[in-house]
Structure 1
Amino acid sequence: MNGMIRMANSTQYQLIEDCEATHKALYKFYAAVMIVIFILALPLNASVLHLFIFKLKFWKSNTNNVFLFNLVLADILLLFCLPIKAYNFIHGERRSGNDTVCKAMLFMLFLNRGASIAFLTVTSIDRYFNVVHPGRKNLLRALKKSPQISILIWLLLLPLTIPTMLKNFDCCNSHKNDGAKDDALIKDVVDSLREVVFFTQILIPFVILVYCTVHIVNRLRKKTVGDKTKLKRAVFLVTSVMVVFSLCFLPCTIARMVLLIARVQEWSESYQDKAAVAFDGLMVLSYMDCLLDPLIYCFCSTKFKALYLSSYFPFLVRDGAEPLDSSTGNTSNPKRNNMI
């Protein structure tokens, strides 16, 4: 009897290692969530991308728009991975059985999610210097005058995607004790490097965002001169960034940490299975970032919101609203532009 139980547990554990979902109904729910995110976020990001290119002409206007354009671009590229991943989940697979497709998916997922986090962080740092140290010279202010800084960020992210495509990272097989001794050291180094990339990609930007947000909020609360409505909107904006980042990325990071502990300490197969299922579910939650980023960074701007409504929902624009310049997104009144 005990032998049969051990055999059943061994079979279930092998399913985990082979990337087969042991809770197929739950993974179908995960797939449904990803499909909903895709359906909602794709037209939103595509419409925002269209405005940045054809209306705002981001390369000519406010340099900060370059960062926001790249943020939306990273999110929309990440969205194209979701239908494939949802397809795998529906068929009871945690990843594609095709090795080429699997590695291509990992490359796209980690590159574009890393880019999304990077541009989110860079934009927050830029806002930090503009609000807390408005007159101080800094490297970012000098670099952001050139759009090439965005290309540099993408290039720097490329090497970080290499460790994530080695082995079966998507199936959480880091530090697996498979009994092989010959290449154990090399495998441990690769696994450790992969985990370092995963955690630093989230934890370092999170620390930076916390620092910037706290100082921006304190600075704006102490400021007594200026448009109070605008100051409140700025405080709401930076606070929203922290909330979204914490909601989307911290849960999957904690779940990943628990899963690694379960693997290294060789918890029972059932606990490892539960940890893997929880990690996959919270990774699905992290894709909500693609839906929330444009809502926070683009629609918290009165100028951009007015441009978006006038372009796609003109019936919602009040008759007395001032016209927008199609190339810059500014109103025709220069005094009004200085107030936005």
Structure 2
Amino acid sequence: MVSDTMNNSCISFDFTGKFLPPVYILVFITGMVANGLGLRSVLQKWEKLGNVSVFVFNLGLADILYLLTLPFLMVYYFKGDQWIFGEAFCKTTRFFFNLNLYGSIGFLTCISVYRYLAIVHPMRMMGRITVTHSVAISVMVWLLVSVQSLPDTFFPKSPINNTKRCFDTTSNEYVKDYLKYSLGWTLTGFCIPLFITLSCYGHMIAVLCHNDNIDEVLKQRSLKLLFILILLFSVCYIPYHILKNLNLLSRLSVIKGTCHKWSNGVYIGHQISRGLVCLNSAINPLVYLHVSEDVCSQDMTDHSMNLFSFTCLICNSATEE
């Protein structure tokens, strides 16, 4: 096993404590306000909401669960990587992070599939998908994400000789096994949903562009939403998964006694990606608010009303207040 001295000489850990706390503070304030307003609108107008809003509600719930853990992580980094809340709560905090991350990806995928069905197959799907179906699918998403995230809690989150740490992955002794788990997790929890999402929007855009009978405003809104979704995945999700696995691979090399020139750069990149990925908790509700500016000002067709009713309700709620 590599010594702490070699670890410190190969990788500078000072960056994390300087970078993550300000990001967490920003995300916590912005995310709580945005998600709080969004969830309140959902609950107030629940009877009028469409099927897709069930997923939006769960998306907001996942964000809130994660945001509530950020104050504890702020304390951890402000105290110089000293975790004072116990090992069990450390694992709980990391579990809720993963639950939010992969829950968000899962519900964004569900929203993409529903939007695809409503635009590409409106007549075939009309009346066949109910709120009960959406609730059942949401429960399945939560169960699947929990099953994927649960093994993470069985890995130690602190070194054997230092119980005051709270790693986001695991200690050096288990990095090799964790890397295997992380790669499988990345495939099932990220790559497959990303493929489904891009396939749905790719086919949808192709249909919109080749069908002259579809309203031009609907085409523009769909292209804009596709751009926002790609931006969200590109900024928040893709860098995190690539750099997380590269950082684990780098740690494995250091443990074996090899310190690459790129090891410190990969570590810093991974910490930046950790800050970027938590931004999804603040960006998710803002995405719908942004789209609502266009949607609420337009007369929508019946088959697309359910898809955008949530954002219109937020828009209308803000106007009434």
Contact 2:118 2:125 in 1 (8 A): no
- 1:31-82, Cα deviation, whole Å (9 max, x unpaired): 101101111121111011000001x215x63111111111111112221122
- 1:116 and 2:116 are equivalent in the alignment: no
8 Å Cα contact 1:255/1:275 also seen in 2: yes
1:12 aligns with 2:8: yes
Structure 2, gaps ≥5 residues long? 158-166, 297-309
Offset at residue 196 of structure 1 (A): 1.6
Distance verdict in 2 for CA 1:34–1:168, change over 3 Å:
same
Q: 1: distance between equivalents of 2:83 and 2:198?
A: 33
CA shift at 1:291, angstroms?
A: 1.6
1:160-175 matched pairs, under 5 angstroms: 160-168=148-156, 170-173=167-170
My pick for the range that moved more, 149-158 or 264-273, is: 264-273
CA distance in 2, matches of 1:313, 1:133: 33
Is 1:242–2:233 an aligned residue pair?
A: no
Q: Normalising by structure 2, what TM-score? A: 0.78
Give yes or no for contact 2:183–2:245 (8 Å, CA) kept in 1: no
Aligned positions of 1:232-311 closer than 5 A: 232-266=220-254, 267-268=258-259, 271-301=262-292, 302-303=295-296, 304-311=310-317
Matched, 1:53 2:43: yes
Q: C-alpha separation between the residues in 1 aligned to 2:153 and 2:3?
A: 31
Instruction: Tell me, yes or no, if the aligned pair for 1:172 and 1:276 is still in contact at 8 Å.
Output: no
Aligned CA distance change for structure 1 residues 235 and 195 (closer, same or farther; 3 Å): same
User: What amino acid is aligned across from residue 31 of structure 2 in structure 1?
Assistant: A
Relative to structure 1, is the Cα distance of residues 40 and 213 closer, same or farther in structure 2, using a 3 angstrom cutoff?
Answer: same
Call closer, same or farther: CA 1:306–1:211 in 2, change over 3 Å.
Answer: closer
Select the structure of larger CA radius of gyration: 1
Output the amino acid matched with 1:52.
V
Partner of 2:300: none
Distance 1:84 1:34, change over 3 A: same
Q: For residues 7 and 255 of structure 1, do their structure 2 counterparts lie closer, same or farther at Cα, with a shift above 3 Å needed?
A: closer
1:101–1:274 distance in 2 versus 1, CA, 3 Å? farther
5 Å-filtered alignment, 1:1-340, equals 9-10=5-6, 12=8, 22-23=13-14, 26-54=16-44, 56-57=45-46, 61-93=49-81, 98-136=86-124, 141=129, 145=133, 147-168=135-156, 170-173=167-170, 176=172, 178=173, 189=177, 191-266=179-254, 267-268=258-259, 271-301=262-292, 302-303=295-296, 304-314=310-320
Secondary structure of the 1:300 match is: helix
Partner of 2:307: none
Moved more, 105-114 or 145-154: 145-154
Q: CA deviation at 1:97?
A: 6.9
Residue by residue over 1:73-119, the C-alpha shift from the partner in whole angstroms, topping out at 9 and shown as x without a partner, is 11122211222222212222186672112111111111122111110
With a CA cutoff of 8 Å and minimum separation of 6, indicate the structure with the bigger relative contact order: 2
- Asked if the contact 1:126/1:141 (under 8 Å) is kept, the reply is no
Q: Identity over the aligned pairs, expressed in percent?
A: 25
Kindly provide the CA deviation profile for residues 118-164 of structure 1, in whole angstroms up to 9, marking residues without a partner as x.
100111011122223334469x9478645232122212222212111
Separation in 1, partners of 2:29, 2:143: 29
CA contact (8 A) 2:63 2:281 kept: yes
Unaligned 5+ runs, structure 1:
1-5, 179-183, 316-340
The answer to whether the 8 A contact 2:60-2:285 is kept is yes
More helix by share: 2
1:8-29 Cα offsets, whole Å, 9 max, x none, are: 8436269x8xxxx8215x5223
Would the alpha carbon gap of residues 94 and 118 (structure 1) be closer, same or farther in structure 2, given more than 3 Å must change? farther
1:299 CA displacement: 4.1
- Asked if structure 2 preserves the Cα contact closer than 8 Å seen for 1:45 and 1:76, the reply is yes
